[in-house]
Amino acid sequence: MKMKHLSIVALSLFLWSCGGSEHADSTHNDSTEVAEEVAEPIDDLADFKFHTMIANLPSPLETFHLISGVSIAMDGVGLTPTEDSKKLSTTSAKAYGYGIYMTDMGFMAYEHENQKTLDYYQTCRDLAQSLGAGDVFDQTISANFEENTSSEEKFVRMMDEAFKAMDEYMVGNERFVNATEIFVGSWVETQLIATSIIKDAPLNEENKPLYQGIYDQKMHASNLMNVLGEIETELSPAVIKQVEDIMMFYAGFSTVESITSKDLHELETKLKSLKAALTA
């Protein structure tokens, strides 16, 4: 699938309206204030498990690359409405939301939905600012958005660098919990997109890579649970319980071929429930 050029005029106007040194100064101040409010000590074991999980977790863009090779109608894929971001009132909900909306932005870019990509871009930028990380977002996304959306390869690299930079910023400012929440949000949304696309399509040679991707979550869900176990007291009990439930559900898959449409519908329901808990 080839990445189509976004409208240069629209992007130029959009990015120009977001720029300016005055904004950069205010974002830096916000970053300091938020970091002071939510900083928490980082446990060495938790930090090790987190980076082990990140090193082994597939990028959302890798999943979208697999999706691009499957001839399935995308109309039924329900992404998170951008207006829902205004309901995210806590720092944790905003961190989960940032991961969710970054994933949606990537998916819309892969589907050549130019205006929707811009809408999700603005939502992600607003959330980054409210998390005190506006500078990080601008340096990794805003500064390169127009150039990198003209090339699929460059866009994938930009998104990966953006996730890495946000991770380094959060961990560097002793916001390990928020860093974990961002990746949890991204993981949940990626799995929801993949599951909703494939849930009514029987396994075949074309879509088998997507089925394999879902099967591989057995390992990733287990790694995720290990990380969350280190910061369990910092998270909602509902989130911990539902992640554990999903981990056990994935563990029930004996082979790729054993995954049924009924399984995928049930998995989709569980993922939606977890997503609702994340953004409550």
Tens digit of each residue's pLDDT (9 = 90 or more) over 217-265: 888 888 788 778 877 788 889 999 999 999 999 999 999 999 999 999 9
Structural domain spans, the chain: 8-278
Tens digit of each residue's pLDDT (9 = 90 or more) over 74-123: 666 788 999 999 999 999 999 999 999 999 988 888 777 888 888 998 99
pLDDT confidence tier of residue 23, bands split at 50, 70 and 90: very low
Tens digit of each residue's pLDDT (9 = 90 or more) over 113-158: 888 888 998 999 999 999 999 998 888 887 767 666 666 667 777 7
Provide DSSP, the chain: -PPPPPPHHHHHHHHHHH--HHHHHHHHHHHHHHHHHH--PPPHHHHHHHHHHHHHSPPHHHHHHHHHTS----TT--PPPGGGGGG--SHHHHHHHHHHHHHHHHHHHHTT-HHHHHHHHHHHHHHHHHTT-HHHHHHHTGGGHHHHTT-HHHHHHHHHHHHHHHHHHHHHTT-HHHHHHHHHHHHHHHHHHHHHHHTTS---TTTHHHHHHHHTHHHHHHHHHHHHHHTGGGS-HHHHHHHHHHHHHHHT--SGGG--HHHHHHHHHHHHHHHHHHT-
